[in-house]
Amino acid sequence: MQLTGAEIIVECLKEQGVDTVFGYPGGTILNVYDALYKHQDEIFHVLTSHEQGAAHAADGYARATGKVGVCLATSGPGATNLVTGIATAYMDSIPMVAITANVTLPMLGKDSFQEVDIAGVTMPITKHGYIVKDVSILADTLRKAFHIAASGRPGPVLVDVTKDVTAALCEYTPKKPEPPEHGSRFTPEEVEAALRLLTTSKKPYIYVGGGAVLSGAAQQVREFAAKLDSPVCDSLMGKGAFDGHSPLYTGMIGMHGTKASNLGVSECDLLIALGARFSDRVVGNAKKFASNARILHIDIDAAEINKNMRADAALVGDLKEILDTLNESLPQCDHKEWTAHIRDLMEKYPLKYDESQLSCPYVIEELDRITGGDAIITTDVGQHQMWAAQYYHYTRPRTFISSGGLGTMGYGLGACIGAKMGRPDKICVNIAGDGCFRMNMNELATASRYNIPIIQIVINNHVLGMVRQWQTLFYDHRYSQTILADKVDFCKVAEGLGCMAIRVTKKEEVAPAINKAIASGSPVLIECIIPEDDKVFPMVSPGAAISEVFDADDLPPTPNS
């Protein structure tokens, strides 16, 4: 049948099972929006307040559901406003297709109104990018985009379509989507080498990364840890792949990891990295990282092997498939003395905070208690992000959604909207600092427009908390441009954008506020006022070994402390 390019785009979205898209219209993409109007009963379009919010919402939708997220934008500034969101998805390996429209083919390359080479701009931050100048290849290009986004190590793909292509007629034939390909390359010999390391280790440690979430390998990870009888730590992206209540779980590793995880990994004789990339925020000083250990690295991306840390053995492929293979052959191991030693470290160095006053850890613990650890938590970036990672017990994958690799301030609210659209059955809460919240708080208007019942918690210390923490510890208390003591009233802003707002200043107000927000069935902002100098501990200084992890008790007293 003959369809316009715009109609072909909509039909291809339907082919791929897309039921929700996020975007913002403009001149060059009007034909696509006209086609969406005719199919609004099949594809629900969420009009965000800004294109960056659309990209973050598509990202959050993808992380919460495991599906490919989709965002739309017009040419020029519409397309460039997606860039931060695309880069965020790229750094964290999130499957997303960004569809943009450009000026007509005769106007390309002439600095036309709202013309930009968005495929060129996003080349370093996408798995692949297309510019479609011929309607006859449009459908196959979109199909390839979805296939690439979901295959192997996932990531964002950009499809830029000229406006005349969206208007041109072409024959369209429906096709079933191709399943993603994961291209496992491991050999029986490599499996044997891995098993030798595993069965001869006396002090193993499992380090779980985001790949364990993306591959759907949570059950396999848990079986593997039980058979190996090994303590388990995770990266920020790996949260929920392993049960946060398990006696084998020791918490996060790295710059703000627990002392037990950081010291334990520094003592182990075998470190097994599952879908992790040895980020600098995990490793610290690479020369001193896990210096007593051999390393077994399992990852779907061959480029990650030996990139940041030298591996003694490696398996390249889908983590779920590899762990199924290892679990079949791995005998039940017994490391009682080792796991008991790690438990002693956990008892000796528990996470702790000042319980005498309202603090973010207290808010997180109350949220964990009230939701039974079963909410989807999104975050922005900074102190609140680390506290959310430390004090909420994640028991299932795809319940912690945060910008790990890029560290995007302003990410969480859009992501929370996307997560709630993808998982309407879940309580969805975004935790943001006041600095982050300012960046994209306009998306509260999106939540109120569609009555999306998300909870936005703003941890307000009237400063850029994490930067101030570094200024306190490493810059002799020179607080250059980190104090936000102005006249902004977040509760009034939220109410002005159509949301309920609650201000919390005491510990006893936290639980009633959370319960009221959950019961409301509408978008709610909870502003929590905390002291400006609360700090995230434990911490590893930049460039130090993770074994040099410290907390407040390790710091000398200062006049400003």
Over range 275-303, report the average pLDDT: 97
**Homologous superfamily (CATH) for 188-348:** TPP-binding domain (3.40.50.1220)
Q: Which of 7, 51, 365, 443 is catalytic?
A: 51
Mean pLDDT of 460-470: 97
Burial class from Cβ neighbours inside 10 Å (0-12, 13-18, 19+) for residue 372 reads exposed
Is-catalytic flag, 40? no
Give mean pLDDT, residues 235-239: 98
Strand partners, 171: 2
Q: Which residues, 6+ apart, have CB-to-CB distance to 384 below 8 Å?
A: 360, 431, 432, 433, 436, 459, 465
108: amino acid identity, one letter: L
163, 239, 259, 320: the active-site residue: 163
User: Is 175 assigned a catalytic role?
Assistant: no
Active site residue 114: yes
Q: What average pLDDT does the segment 232-258 reach? A: 98
pLDDT attached to residue 184: 80
pLDDT > 90: percent of the chain:
98
Q: Does domain 360-538 fall into CATH 3.40.50.970? A: yes
Residue ranges of the chain assigned to CATH 3.40.50.970 = 2-171, 360-538
pLDDT band at 183 (very low <50, low <70, confident <90, very high): confident
Please state the rounded mean pLDDT for residues 263-279.
98
pLDDT at 314: 98
User: Checking phi first, is residue 290 left (phi over 0); if not, alpha (psi -120 to 50) or beta?
Assistant: left
Percent of all residues in the chain with a pLDDT value above 70, rounded to a whole number: 99
Q: Is the dihedral of CA 106, 109, 110, 111 positive or negative?
A: positive
How far is the C-alpha of 269 from the C-alpha of 209, rounded, in Å? Answer: 19
Q: What is the location of CATH 3.40.50.1220 in the chain?
A: 188-348
Which residue out of 107, 309, 409, 466 is catalytically annotated?
Answer: 466
DSSP-assigned beta bridge partners for residue 532: none
| Residue 469 annotated in active site | no
Note the pLDDT of residue 559: 55
Strand blocks (E) in 65-203: 69-73, 96-102, 128-132, 156-162, 169-171
Query: Is the pTM of the predicted complex or chain greater than 0.75?
Result: yes
Task: Indicate which residue of 14, 15, 44, 114 is catalytic.
Answer: 114
> What average pLDDT does this structure show over 373-384?
98
CATH 3.40.980.10 for domain 2-171 = no
Q: What is the pLDDT of residue 557?
A: 75
pLDDT at 110 over 90: yes
pLDDT in tens, 473-497: 999 999 999 999 899 999 999 999 9
Q: What does pLDDT average to over the chain? A: 97
Say which of 42, 113, 178, 506 is annotated catalytic: 113
pLDDT (tens digit, 9 = 90+) per residue, 121-173? 999 999 999 999 999 999 999 999 999 999 999 999 999 999 999 999 999 99
State yes or no: is 328 an active-site residue: no
Q: How confident is the model at residue 561 (pLDDT cuts 50, 70, 90)?
A: very low
Separation between Cα atoms, residue 30 and residue 21, nearest integer Å: 15
Q: How many CA atoms lie within 13 A of 268 on its CB side?
A: 31
